[in-house]
Amino acid sequence: MSSFSNLLDLKPLSGFDWSCFNGNIATAVSYFGDNYLQAFAHSWTFSPMGTDPMSYDMLGHESYTYEDILKYANANYTLHREISLPDALDNIYKELQADRPVVVKCDSFSCPWFPDNYHASHNTHFFIIVHYDPQTNLFTCTDVSYMTHNYTQSVADFSQGFMNEIMTFSPRASTLDQKNTDIDLVLLDIAQTNLGLKPQTYSIFEAMRVFADQFEQWYQLAVMEMNQFDLGAANKLHLELLYIIQSRMQFLKFLEYRADLTHTNIQCIRAAFEQSIKSWSIIRMMYLKLYEPKANKERIFSTLPEKIKAVAALEEDIAYTILHIEQMRILNDQLSPTHRHASSSR
- Same structural domain for residues 278 and 326? yes
What pLDDT is recorded for position 338? 62
Q: Are residues 274 and 196 in the same domain?
A: yes
Q: How many domains does the chain have?
A: 2
Query: What CATH number is given to the structural domain containing 124?
Result: 3.90.70.30
Q: What is the pLDDT of residue 221?
A: 73
Orientation of helix 297-335 relative to helix 183-194, angle to 10°: 130
Q: What is the pLDDT of residue 342?
A: 55
Give the end of a domain, one of 171, 201, 219: 171
Decide if 108 contacts 123 (C-beta within 8 A): yes
Residue 189 is assigned to a structural domain of this protein: yes
Model pLDDT, residue 58: 53
Give the C-alpha separation, 92 to 86, whole Å: 10
Q: Residue 89: inside a domain, yes or no?
A: yes
Instruction: Clarify whether residues 205 and 324 are in a common domain.
Output: yes
- Give the C-alpha distances (Å, rounded to integers) separating 38 from 20, 90, 255: 20, 33, 10
pLDDT attached to residue 218: 76
Range of the domain at 216: 183-344
Which of 143, 147, 110 is CA-nearest to residue 128? Answer: 143
Co-location of 189 and 131 in the same domain: no
**Tens digit of pLDDT for each residue in 22-43?**
889 999 999 999 889 888 888 8
Predicted confidence at residue 231, as pLDDT, reads 46
Q: Which residues of the chain have pLDDT under 70?
A: 1-4, 46-63, 117-120, 174-180, 225-235, 337-346
Strands 148-154 and 102-107: unpaired
pTM, entire model: 0.81
The answer on 78 and 112 residing in a single domain is yes
Residue 326: CB atoms within 10 A of its CB come to 16
At residue 229, the pLDDT reads: 47
Are the C-beta atoms of 44 and 194 separated by less than 8 Å? yes
Q: Give CA–CA dist 280/272, Å, rounded.
A: 12
- The predicted pLDDT at position 1 comes to 43
Structure letter (DSSP) for residue 233: S
47 located within any domain: no
The alpha helices in 47-154, defined as continuous H runs, are: 66-72, 85-97
Please indicate, yes or no, if residue 198 is contained in any of the structural domains.
yes
- What does the DSSP 8-state code read for residue 195? B
